[in-house]
Amino acid sequence: MAERDDMAHAFAWTEDLTEEQRHRVRTAMIERKLSAGEYLCRQGEPSDYWIGVISGIVKMSVSTATGEITTLTKVAAGGWFGEGSVLKGESRRYDCLAISDTRIALIPRAAFLWLLDNSIPFNRFVMTLLNERLANSFAIIECSRLQGPDARVARCLATLFNPVLNPSRDERLELSQEEIALLSGMSRQRVNRALHKLEEARLLKLEHRRIIVLDVAGLRSYGA
DNA sequence: TCATTAAATTGTT
DNA sequence: AACAATTTAATGA
């Protein structure tokens, strides 16, 4: 996709703003390029920006003092995140890492809050975002308590295809099984078995370092 | 462009 | 956690 299209796609929500508000977004926005493996932000840093992914993928994860890591979610092109910490005025709760070469849009906190104060459509957009994240999180909690490991992996993969949180996701997931293990909180070995089970069910196809998702709805409802 | 090698990833135990 | 098999990426002829 052309760079300009990526940008337009990520900023689709500005279509409901007034010309003045759009102008404010344009002038306040800061663009950053990250290469693969580079951190966008770390746990504990001040939350000065609301963050949009123009292209590439960002991984959000937390680590404990003992060095254990788990991945919370991934945000692909067109997705926005970080509004929670900005709204609460607290420091970042998660590490954000660029998985591939990534272009990021930063909306400074002041501009973000100004938009909330001045645009009802923007409020609606953010509310929808928060609502989807909540539903997504509940789905994972529900699944982790009521379903077996195979369904957990299925559900974790399905959440990556949430149209609101990850609008541009194509069916190809460039994720190693190790990454999926971090994302679903299971061992790589168990994830490997689950993935083969899901492949048998024709919900996805396994390739090296990549998964082709054939049936998102099927993954979402697997085992239920 | 091809072959070799190292590194990463996967499938099993 | 460990191991072998497989795939990819990097290097240099």
Q: Sign of dihedral through CA atoms A91, A38, A78, A60? A: negative
Q: Which nucleotides of strand C come closer than 7 angstroms to any CB of the protein?
A: 1-2, 7-8
C-alpha A178/C-alpha A174 separation (Å) is 12
Q: State the CB neighbour count (10 A cutoff) for residue A64.
A: 8
C-alpha A181/C-alpha A147 separation (Å) is 16
Q: Which of residues 45-84 of A touch strand B (CB under 7 A)?
A: none
* DSSP assignments along A137-168, one per residue: HHHHHHHHHHS-HHHHHHHHHHHTT-TTTSTT
Residue pLDDT tens, chain A, 224 long: 567 788 999 999 999 999 999 999 999 999 999 988 889 999 999 999 999 999 988 999 998 888 788 999 999 999 999 999 999 999 999 999 998 889 999 999 999 999 999 999 999 999 999 999 999 999 988 998 889 999 999 999 999 999 999 987 688 999 999 999 999 999 999 999 999 999 999 999 999 999 999 999 999 999 87
Q: Which nucleotides of strand B come closer than 7 angstroms to any CB of the protein?
A: 8-13
What pLDDT digit, counting tens, does each position of A87-138 carry? 999 999 999 999 888 999 999 999 999 999 999 999 999 999 999 999 999 9
Note the pLDDT of residue A4.
Answer: 75
Residues whose C-beta lies under 7 Å from strand C? A 189, 207-209
Our measurement of CA A126 to C1' B11, in angstroms, reads 43
